[in-house]
Amino acid sequence: MSKSQYYSFLKPLIPRLLQVTIRRLIIRQKVSKSKNVWPISPESSIPPDGWTGWPEGKKFALVLTHDVDTEAGVAKCQSLMDIEERLGFRSSFGFVAKDYEVPQQLMKNIENRGFELCVHGLHHDKNPFWSKKEFYRQASEIKRYMAEWGAVGFRSPSMYHDLELVHDLNIEYDASTFDTDPFEPQPDGVGTIFPFWVPGNARQKGYVELPYTLPQDFLLFILMRERNTNIWKKKLDWIAKHGGMALVITHPDYMNFENKESTYKEFPIRYYEDFLEYIKSNYKDQYWHVLPKNMARFWAANYGEKSKQIQVSIPEKKKIWIDLDNSPHVPFFKPIIDELRKRGHEVVVTARDCFQVCGLADLMHLEYEKIGRHYGKNKLLKVAGLLIRSGQLMPVALKEKPDIAVSHGSRSQVMISSVLNIPSVVIWDYEYTQTVAKPTYVVVPELIADSSIKGFTKAFFKYPGIKEDVYVPNFKPDPSIMKELGLNDNELVVTIRPPATEAHYHNRDSELLFEATINFLGQQKNTRMVILPRNEKKQTAWVKSNWSEWCKSGKIIFPEHVVDGLNLIWYSDFVISGGGTMNREAAALSVPVYSIFRGKIGAVDQYLSQNGRLIMLESVEDIRTKISLSKRRRSEMPENLNRMALDKIVEIIEII
């Protein structure tokens, strides 16, 4: 065991003050021996072959990065962003994935304000390169966190590095090295103040290495007890003279935002502010300031190996099998299929002939192969139907040989994929979904807690927002639906979706609330109900037999053919549904919505309810007192829609 490994092993047992004292003594001995290579190593100024300079003819490049080592550092990130934003800078924040919780709102703020997220290892006190076995054990989790966070770069804790092993992370850049720093646990510098390309191989793509080229704040202000930024400024001036990349690592953990004097724990934030002010005033319009990911993309495009550049920007093309098992899956997967094909992937689609799945697929001009049907709510028939459809899907799987199978809960697809050893991805947004066979990967909204994803601790990914955010942004209202259904703007239009009586999560109370809802709204003047049955024949016949007069008079309307659900919701004054998808579609469109679902309430619906976007009707009394019988004022188009959920899900499918 080396000295650095021995120290790393003992480090958690040593009090913090003693750790700092020991390191100060070691550094004091090393400083005089290292004066010829630190803080400046003259040989590192040599530019790479074919060097043509920075974009826009800038003199040098500037990259700001922050490693957040502890939970205390997390609490300071907002304040640090405020300072940088005020001074006109942007930076990356590297979080240690499993040492503390990173608030979702903080990650959103980082992205929305133009900063960047980076994965700074799983545990800060563990060397991921301790052994190959240890690295490969951590790699799958690191990749999962990178996908969840939308990160494309990695930095190892304590700057441990292995440029060969890190290929396995499938990254755009690594930032775990330095030009010169004899005080690091692994002190072998890379000897350049420029980024450089690390070639890939037949199995793995290449990536860009971004070495830090300015001393770390912890070294200068905590260990060396510097009381000014002169070393930073001297090194920056030298980098600028030689046209290199000035990349600095600082830590919000060690910054004191009250500007108190330095201790063994913190230094005043004014040191960092002073340095940024120095850059702005002394090098105005002379530096190319970018985020690490943009630096990596510039370098890959201009100085990476041509054969590997394509792999950096375009993931390996796949054949992806998508199974449409239920009607909500059709609008959900339509934009995903379109985006995957646009990115060059081949997509094979199968569809189950039930619950208007095929009708919706035809409406949306999806090409698919119709396979299997629904066998009713009898449990024995359900099991038989599962086995029969799994067998029916086998020829497709054997013929197409997909690289990956994707669904929103198709049990038949997961089962046959498991038999044929095809990696399967199940996307779901209800944590109480029952599974028959275990998929390889699970993808859920970030609103669902990790603890709710039982059995998938190493194989799940998350996306922002809710499922309906994937396809609602593509929605364009079409007013012709009003004429098609015989409706007019003077009437109170209510869209109603009955409970899923054949689902495993069904609760009889939902049916009672559905009946009470029809009775209540039927008594209201100038009110029309558009009912979208799940089982067209059974539910339609049941409603017509119980409320025949209202059906004949047109107070209750059943569309004669499949309609665009989003369009119907948009032209409704409010929605009442016994399931999840239509409720969330209405919430995504900011249309008032009431839920008569009485099964276990999932995290997504709880979130919408807590934020006033979904009202739960839990009793017959609630129907009379909570429903607002008022016309909705519609805008011309839905507002505040974005593609974040779609982009993230497609990205996850690509990297798996």
Domain membership flag for residue 85: yes
pLDDT at 306: 42
Task: Let me know: does 317 contact 342? Beta carbons within 8 Å.
Answer: no
Interatomic CA distance for residues 305 and 310, integer angstroms: 9
At 143 the three-state DSSP class reads helix
Interatomic CA distance for residues 488 and 552, integer angstroms: 18
Task: Let me know: does 506 contact 599? Beta carbons within 8 Å.
Answer: yes
Domain membership flag for residue 206: yes
Domain membership flag for residue 106: yes
CA atoms within 13 A on the CB side of 513: 30
Domain membership flag for residue 133: yes
- Predicted confidence band at 2 (pLDDT cuts at 50, 70, 90)? very low
Interatomic CA distance for residues 35 and 174, integer angstroms: 28
* 464 and 485 housed in the same domain: no
Over range 142-160, report the average pLDDT. Answer: 93
pLDDT at 473: 87
CATH of the domain at 130: 3.20.20.370
Dump pLDDT digits (tens) for 226-243: 999 999 999 999 999 999
Over range 8-18, report the average pLDDT. Answer: 64
Over range 422-451, report the average pLDDT. Answer: 86
Domain membership flag for residue 34: no
Q: What residue numbers bound the domain in which 580 lies? A: 476-626
Helix intervals (H) in 343-464? 357-363, 379-400, 411-420
Q: How many CB atoms lie within 10 A of CB 428?
A: 20
SS3 content of the chain, % helix, strand, coil (to 5): 45, 15, 40
Residue written as tokens 């603890």? Answer: 451
Q: Which of 518, 519, 533, 629 is nearest to 572 (CA)?
A: 629
Domain membership flag for residue 519: yes
At 403 the three-state DSSP class reads coil
- Predicted confidence band at 308 (pLDDT cuts at 50, 70, 90)? very low
pLDDT at 529: 98
What's the chain's length in residues?
656
Task: Let me know: does 174 contact 141? Beta carbons within 8 Å.
Answer: no
pLDDT at 82: 95
The CA-CA-CA angle for residues 125, 105, 91, to 5°, reads 65
Residue 28: CB partners within 8 Å, gap ≥ 6?
A: none
Domain membership flag for residue 636: no
- Predicted confidence band at 309 (pLDDT cuts at 50, 70, 90)? very low
* 552 and 650 housed in the same domain: no
The DSSP H or E segment spanning 23 is: helix 16-33
- Predicted confidence band at 502 (pLDDT cuts at 50, 70, 90)? low
Interatomic CA distance for residues 432 and 488, integer angstroms: 40
* 264 and 342 housed in the same domain: no
* Bridge partners, residue 593, by sequence: 575
* 157 and 271 housed in the same domain: yes
Interatomic CA distance for residues 473 and 475, integer angstroms: 6
Over range 30-53, report the average pLDDT. Answer: 91
Residue 20: CB partners within 8 Å, gap ≥ 6?
A: 222, 223, 264
The phi-psi region of residue 332 (left if phi > 0; otherwise alpha if psi is between -120 and 50; otherwise beta) is alpha
* 419 and 502 housed in the same domain: no
Dump pLDDT digits (tens) for 243-284: 999 999 999 999 999 988 888 889 999 999 999 999 999 999
* 301 and 374 housed in the same domain: no
* 454 and 537 housed in the same domain: no
* 291 and 366 housed in the same domain: no
- Predicted confidence band at 381 (pLDDT cuts at 50, 70, 90)? confident
DSSP string, 340-354: HHHTT-EEEEEEEES
Share of the chain above pLDDT 90, in %: 64
Interatomic CA distance for residues 40 and 36, integer angstroms: 7
Over range 374-388, report the average pLDDT. Answer: 83
In whole numbers, what is the pLDDT of the chain averaged over residues?
Answer: 89
pLDDT at 434: 75
Domain membership flag for residue 19: no
* 379 and 453 housed in the same domain: yes
* 369 and 347 housed in the same domain: yes
Q: How many CB atoms lie within 10 A of CB 282?
A: 13
Look at residues 284, 311, 338 and tell me which one is the last residue of a structural domain.
Answer: 311
Interatomic CA distance for residues 170 and 190, integer angstroms: 21
Dump pLDDT digits (tens) for 398-418: 999 999 999 999 999 999 999
More confident residue, 650 or 310: 650
* Lowest-pLDDT choice from 168-172, 200-204, 501-505: 501-505
Please give, one letter per residue, the 3-state secondary structure of 517-561.
HHHHHHCCCCEEEEECCCCHHHHHHHHHHHCHHHHHHCCEECCCC
- Predicted confidence band at 307 (pLDDT cuts at 50, 70, 90)? very low
| Cα Rg, the chain, nearest whole Å | 29
CATH of the domain at 551: 3.40.50.2000
pLDDT at 648: 84
pLDDT at 383: 87
Look at residues 247, 279, 311 and tell me which one is the last residue of a structural domain.
Answer: 311
Look at residues 276, 291, 311 and tell me which one is the last residue of a structural domain.
Answer: 311
At 154 the three-state DSSP class reads strand
DSSP string, 30-43: HHHHTTTTSS--GG
Residue 551 has pLDDT above 50, yes or no: yes
* 73 and 193 housed in the same domain: yes
* 441 and 486 housed in the same domain: no
Total structural domains within the chain = 3
